[in-house]
């Protein structure tokens, strides 16, 4: 179970990094600071909650999911603006 949870956290992080890289390649985007901030929060969270491996993985999952949500906001906003509404 822990291995699966860690794989989900790693996949979430990889997806968010791919979205950050795509956004930076399309235009000059300043989203790398967000990745750095999440990394600092990750270190602080693991330092606070490290009694069990489950706690460490949960901290990773929560912060990496928050990063994915924050990075995906421009994609949803752009797609919503690109789709014309039906009359």
What is the residue-wise DSSP string for 2-38?
HHHHHHHHHHHHHHHHHHHHHHHHHS----HHHHHHH
In this prediction, residues 54-74 reach a mean pLDDT of: 91
Q: Are residues 1 and 57 in contact, defined by beta-carbon separation less than 8 angstroms?
A: no
Q: What is the mean pLDDT of the chain?
A: 85
Task: Please tell me the distance from the alpha carbon of residue 79 to that of residue 81, in angstroms, as a whole number.
Answer: 5
For 33, phi then psi, to 5°, come to -65, -30
**With bands split at pLDDT 50, 70 and 90, how would you rate the model's confidence at 52?**
very high
Q: Report whether pLDDT(49) > 80.
A: yes
In this prediction, residues 14-36 reach a mean pLDDT of: 83
Q: What is the pLDDT of residue 79?
A: 63
With vertex at residue 16, the alpha carbon angle to CA 14 and CA 38, rounded to the nearest 5 degrees, is: 100
Q: What is the pLDDT of residue 83?
A: 59
């Amino acid at each position: 179970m822990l291995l699966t949870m860690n794989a989900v956290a790693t996949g979430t992080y990889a997806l968010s990094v791919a979205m950050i890289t795509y956004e930076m390649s399309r235009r000059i985007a300043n989203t790398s600071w967000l990745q750095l901030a999440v990394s600092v929060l990750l270190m602080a969270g693991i330092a606070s909650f490290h009694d069990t491996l489950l706690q460490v993985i949960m901290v990773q999952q929560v912060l990496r999911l928050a990063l994915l949500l924050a990075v995906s906001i421009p994609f949803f906003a752009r797609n919503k603006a690109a789709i014309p509404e039906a009359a």
